[in-house]
Amino acid sequence: MKRGLLQDARNLVLAGAIAAGVGMPATASHAEERAVPLSQAQITLSFAPVVEHVAPAVVNVYASRTVLQRQRVSPFFDDPFFRRFFGNPEGLGGGRPRERVESSLGSGVIISADGIIVTNHHVIKDADEVRVALADRREFDAEIVLKDERTDLAVLKVKDASDSFPYVDFADSDELKVGDIVLAIGNPFGVGQTVTQGIVSALARTRVGVTDYQFFIQTDAAINPGNSGGALVDIQGRLVGINTAIFSRSGGSNGIGFAIPANMVDFVAAAAKGDGVVRRPWLGASVQVVSSEIAEALGLDRPRGVLVTGIYKGGPADRAGLKVGDLIAEVGGVEVTDPDSFGYRFATKPIGKTTAFKVLREHEELTLTIALSPAPEAVKRDARTLEGYSPFAGSTVMNLSPAVAEELRLDGLEEGVVIAGIEPGSPANRVGLQVGDIILSVNDEKVDNTRRLERLASGDPRLWRLEIKRGGRVLRIALRG
């Protein structure tokens, strides 16, 4: 890494500013650098040294996968009912399957000299092959080390790497301020490596909807399709975020781009360098937003923190002494303002350690120490794929535990039996069951484990009465047998 060049660039900007402010000339320390301006009118700032430092570590990511596509002659051959009687449509006009290669293009950032690369999950999702191209036009095959859909991050590693690669250091994204200058580097629209400049427009943006952890850096640096997975860096050439999404009605940049903070990226990258599994701490409690009404009732000057609404018996929160009705104001010494900021702050804490919660309880301020441990599989999941002719046929069900709830993105306090997978075209798919549905009862008999559900699903009643919990709502469904 050209540390000297980057330091000289910072010195150049400082020297130029001093010269402009007091009317004194400044001299450049190296002949190859641009001349320092002699007056304010001559000042021309350049980010070229920063770009020269970072650009070699930003790569183009080419992902491809092979899919089978059947040449359709009639839409009837896509109907499961039709196939039930006529079998495989091949030879009946349904056409033979043909292979088709789908490809996607994005960007990535090298974060270590041995060729570890961070990109977006959606860039390499379902890819069979991944190839990366460096700024100097060298190309390498890459293997996928880790995929984390929940953060929309993936980690790659250059295959058979014998070289030492240029890389970018992480910044502490918590130190970013609104108004800081940032550069976005990537491969928009596949035109080649491109640099855009802007400022941090906002921090802790939520409602973006592309990851489970809604805590994004917003920037007006132009970000377009193909920039996904590219670097957002500060003027010191440090990685502050991974460009991920844009707000656009046209498909192009409208000056509203979003990046995953570097601290979350670093957390996922550390997991990739370990055993390749992202393990997040589990609290064992549910929380909700603090409204103006709740803040007034608690005697707060403004809405802040999160309110504890449920506790899992024996979980980390319970063992630490957290109670329903407590208000969590800080995590690890950092204020939290809503469930999204709380989720981000807690999820980026390392497993095996502890963190401090500042809690308000009945106008008293407490500090609780929370052990950082992963969600446990309190009961065996006992996964079963149901068959036959019941409404559940074609579904895979599991016993709920905090670990299973974490995998399916459900409330970790839920219990019972959950649908973890559904085969396309199956009876379960056709009646509208969904992954994440919790089966409460079948024909008025309570479902408390997968074995019991399998027995109930093997019956042949004239009418199926199902009670299902979906998204916090209980649905009652009646279906003819």
Mind listing the pLDDT tens digit for each residue in 55-97? 999 999 998 877 666 555 455 444 444 444 445 554 444 556 6
Distances (CA, A) of 343 to 340, 364, 477: 5, 24, 34
459 a known binding residue?
A: no
228 a known binding residue?
A: yes
160 alpha-carbon distance from chain centroid: 28
Mind listing the pLDDT tens digit for each residue in 232-244? 999 999 999 999 8
Tokens of 146: 């880790």
Q: Which residue has the higher pLDDT, 85 or 373?
A: 373
Burial label for 100, CB within 10 Å (0-12, 13-18, 19+), is exposed
What are the percentages of helix, strand and coil residues in the chain, rounded to 5? 20, 35, 45
Q: CA triplet 300, 302, 308: central angle to 5 degrees?
A: 65
> Which domains are assigned to the chain?
3-45 (no CATH), 59-158 (2.40.10.10), 173-262 (2.40.10.10), 285-371 (2.30.42.10), 384-480 (2.30.42.10)
d(CA 330, CA 345) in angstroms, rounded, equals 9
| Mean pLDDT calculated for residue range 263-283 | 91
Longest CA–CA span in the chain (Å) reads: 94
Catalytic residue numbers read 122, 152, 228
> What is the model's pLDDT at position 299?
87
> What is the model's pLDDT at position 309?
95
Mind listing the pLDDT tens digit for each residue in 169-205? 999 998 999 999 999 999 888 778 889 999 999 887 6
187 a known binding residue?
A: no
Q: Tell me the whole-structure pTM to 2 decimals.
A: 0.76
444 a known binding residue?
A: no
152 a known binding residue?
A: yes
> What is the model's pLDDT at position 162?
80
Residue 296 makes CB contacts below 8 A (sequence gap 6+) with none
**Cross-strand pairs, 260:** 242
